[in-house]
Amino acid sequence: MPAARADAWRGLTADARRWAAGKADRAAVERAFADIVVLEEFHAYPGARLMATLRDRLAAGSAEGFRNLAERVSQAVVTRSYKHDEGDWDVAESAADRMPDLGLPAHGSGGQHRPFFEMLLVSPHGGTRGAQQSAELRKLRRSEDAFIYETVPVGSFEDAICAAIMNPGIAAVTIYEGFDFASHHDAPVLRSVIAARGIDAADVDEGDLALGLASELKRLRPELDIYLLSDRKVESLAGHPQAGALRRVLYSVEEMLELHLSVLEGVAERFRTPFFDNLKHYATRPISTFHALPIARGKSVFKSDWIRDMGEFYGLNIFLAESSATTGGLDSLLEPTGNIKEAQEMAARAFGADRCFFVTNGTSTSNKMVHQAVVAPGEIVILDRNCHKSHHYGMVLGGAQPLYVEAFPMTEYSMYGAVPLASIKQALLDLKAEGRLDRVRMVDLTNCTFDGHIYNTRRVMEECLAIKPDLVFLWDEAWFGFARFSPVLRPRTAMGAAAAIEAWMHDPASVAAYETQQAELGENPSRETLLATRLIPDPRQIRLRVYQTNSTHKSMSSLRQGSMILVKDVDYHTVESQFREAVFTHASTSPNQQLIASLDIARRQMELEGYGLVMNAIEISLSIRREINSHPLISKYFKVLGAEEMVPASYRQSGFSDFLTPGTTWADQIRSMNEDEFCLDPTRMTLVCGTAGFDGTEFKKLLADDYDIQLNKTSRNSVLLQSNINNTRSDIAQLLRVLLDISNAIEKRLAEGGEAGRVAFFARVKSLMEDVPDLPDFSHFHDAFRGDAGEMTVEGDMRTAFFAAYDPAACEYVPLFGEECDRRLAEGPEMVSANFVIPYPPGFPIMVPGQVITHETIDFMRKLDVKEIHGFNREKGLRLIRIEAVTAKSAR
């Protein structure tokens, strides 16, 4: 929406210019202005005064005056200069005309940069009363304030919600009691926002409109500080279930100063980065080091004749901030008691968890830590085979038994989707039927997947808990950490869903819902019934145990390898010591200070501007999707896949087709997010390039070599584009230019290449798009590694297989291409993989240790045209376990 706002202003100034030049009449400007008026009521800048001046000039027919001011305001809105340039707030055109004191914001006082934010002020008779209060608050500014803010006065519940949604600059909210529910605006934009949130006047308690608003705002943007100004007694609020949404209750009679100071303090609390702040302080102190870190303080670098450029490149601070000490307030990552502990607690709060652990070796390590901490050898983990390799290796190390469940295949694009809930329930019910349900410890899934499939996390957990109430969930949200800061995506994150389930457990209606369903299901419901029913767990039995890992560096401003583990586990005390051991096992004893600091900082940023940044990333991705798919030339050769192509219709129960389908509203998208089994993360864009005659790897190389555009994932006929909080609209323009360039080159080649050239091109396209290998399902573990697994389920003892291969006598190689391989497939003995084989792309293990190799796997391997296949030796062939050797050894 920030981009839409900038566009609206650009449109208005364009109209104003035409009007001033006599090329258009005033009516066009009036229409454009009317569209902007409502939107601007939700922003502090330009504010009532400038808007009134614009309106007056428009009414007076002063085309030149209107154009001048509109251009200035538009410029300030687009560049956001109003945050620091007080001139932007002035009606007068030049400094000489300005009145000495208009009570304008004293931004940038003392020449030092002070962050700017906006405070939403909800009060009766919003505009007039609000303007007064704003002016009063402005007078309270002091030069020692760490931040500057302006207020956005509104007069109703609906306006407040709209402002919080549309204006990412809002960081705090003050509510005076006595405001109305309905907005006096009837703008379509406002109606669509209110409808999309599913807010209905009938559901809001009139008597407690203020608390109702506070909790709805918290639901939208949990990071906001909310203040209530009330004449009520504190006692009447204290016990109110919604009072938790308030940061502070102030009495209306109290001085405004108290409010002003509270608002600044609230923001300061989010701004504070305990570890980073201390590290900066540490770096400025004169310290002689006698610990084993020659690089600390940089003397070995800056005094050197030979590596001085290292110092010049990185700058002095990084060396001043390096230390291996845990004294001087630096705290220990392995056993934090000071500012790391505090930074982690703040991150837990920001991300909606009970606990947070900073990890400095990437989510690869975070995942292994969770596996080791939670699962004992022999216990079963149900997981997607497409999980990142850290999960599989975690199980090799820990001795857990993987029970692989399959994601739905998207064969035409050589990629997998996500695992249907029915497959997970099926696995649980099979284990139950075989009497081994007690052995299942954890369900482990990737949310969202590399290609953007988002699970219905709440539904998955509820239905699994209905079958086994103490299951642990590990959601690998390596790419999805940012989603916490989007109200649309948040319910689909691990922590968002866990919070919803927790609230549901405490709702008395839940027990009734459970009992009603039990009665309907009867004594011994059939497997078909259980699979077809949306199962409700017993809220009295559930042990809510949810772990999330995220690569903070992949979606937020953390340095590479910065990762977090988020925990919301009611039984955490039962694994606490194991968890600590897991940290000791996997974490480096020399964690990097800069990484820890960057995790602390990433949290600060997301709490203060994450909402706007994520909104921008989503807006950019929607715009890329729209531009590519509707461009007359580019769309001939390229396409970004929409939800309807990425998610089969049977998993889109709401009937949602795609973000770009004409007529799709925000309400449709939100309903899809609430109901559908899978949704697509709009920021992950699969761009089909096979239709332009490129395979993914080729296209990636072309973009990198010729256009300096980097991307990371490819499939046979597609590449993955991602937008993130770092992208701007010029990135879109650049991408489109490049695609247009490439499309033009193809057109030229086709026009000049003659018939032969055309035939070759279309044959290549056909081969890339149609001649795609079937994706092999996981076959099964060899009997030697199936332990006591039953008939119905496929879990296995991967660790034993993995270590069996340590004995060279127990291993053999069979070339992938050749008669021997074919003969073994036809006549046996069965070929059993000795290790993981992981082709990049697609990056999932097509073989795991102990897995029986089938025709499908060999066919897929032979058709693979990728260079990088981890665990596969091209010269020697497939590395196999000689089962006779293994059984002979265990018989001895």
Ligand X SMILES: *Cc1c(COP(=O)(O)O)cnc(C)c1O
Q: Which residues bind ligand X (CB under 6 A)?
A: 362-364, 388, 390, 446, 450, 476, 478-479, 551, 563
- Three-state DSSP class for 238? helix
Joined tokens for residue 603: 């949290």
Residue 882: CB atoms within 10 Å = 18
Joined tokens for residue 177: 């009691």
Answer for the pair 445, 476: CB distance below 8 angstroms, yes or no: yes
From the CB of 92, what's the least distance to ligand X, in Å?
53
Q: Distance (Å, rounded) from C-alpha 541 to C-alpha 830?
A: 45
Nearest to 181 by CA among 155, 163, 162, 149: 155
Alpha helix locations (H) across 21-62? 26-40, 47-59
From the CB of 388, what's the least distance to ligand X, in Å?
3
Nearer to ligand X, 215 or 594 (CB): 594
From the CB of 680, what's the least distance to ligand X, in Å?
16
Question: Do β-strands 563-569 and 678-680 pair in parallel, antiparallel, or remain unpaired?
Answer: unpaired
From the CB of 476, what's the least distance to ligand X, in Å?
5
Question: C-alpha distances in angstroms, 533 versus 492, 502, 526, 529, 586?
Answer: 21, 22, 11, 6, 41
Answer for the pair 676, 651: CB distance below 8 angstroms, yes or no: yes
Answer for the pair 492, 446: CB distance below 8 angstroms, yes or no: no
| Helix or strand run (H / E) with residue 752 | helix 729-752
From the CB of 479, what's the least distance to ligand X, in Å?
6
Q: Length of the chain in residues, anyone?
A: 892
Nearer to ligand X, 561 or 657 (CB): 561
Nearer to ligand X, 390 or 616 (CB): 390
Nearer to ligand X, 213 or 725 (CB): 725
Q: What pairs with residue 251 in β-bridges?
A: 230
Would you list the DSSP string of 286-301? -----SS-TTGGGHHH
Q: How many CA within 13 A on the CB side of residue 391? A: 29
Nearer to ligand X, 535 or 565 (CB): 565
Nearer to ligand X, 69 or 483 (CB): 483
From the CB of 566, what's the least distance to ligand X, in Å?
14
Q: Distance (Å, rounded) from C-alpha 264 to C-alpha 148?
A: 8
Answer for the pair 793, 439: CB distance below 8 angstroms, yes or no: no
Nearer to ligand X, 41 or 681 (CB): 681
From the CB of 361, what's the least distance to ligand X, in Å?
7
Tokens 């998955």 correspond to what residue? 460
What is the CA angle 379-581-296, rounded to 5?
140
* Residue nearest ligand X by beta-carbon distance: 362
Would you list the DSSP string of 521-538? H-SS--HHHHHHS-----
Nearer to ligand X, 398 or 690 (CB): 398
Nearer to ligand X, 404 or 450 (CB): 450
From the CB of 560, what's the least distance to ligand X, in Å?
8
Nearer to ligand X, 107 or 713 (CB): 713
Phi/psi at 467 (nearest 5 deg)? -90, -40
From the CB of 348, what's the least distance to ligand X, in Å?
19
Nearer to ligand X, 133 or 447 (CB): 447
From the CB of 842, what's the least distance to ligand X, in Å?
12
From the CB of 446, what's the least distance to ligand X, in Å?
5
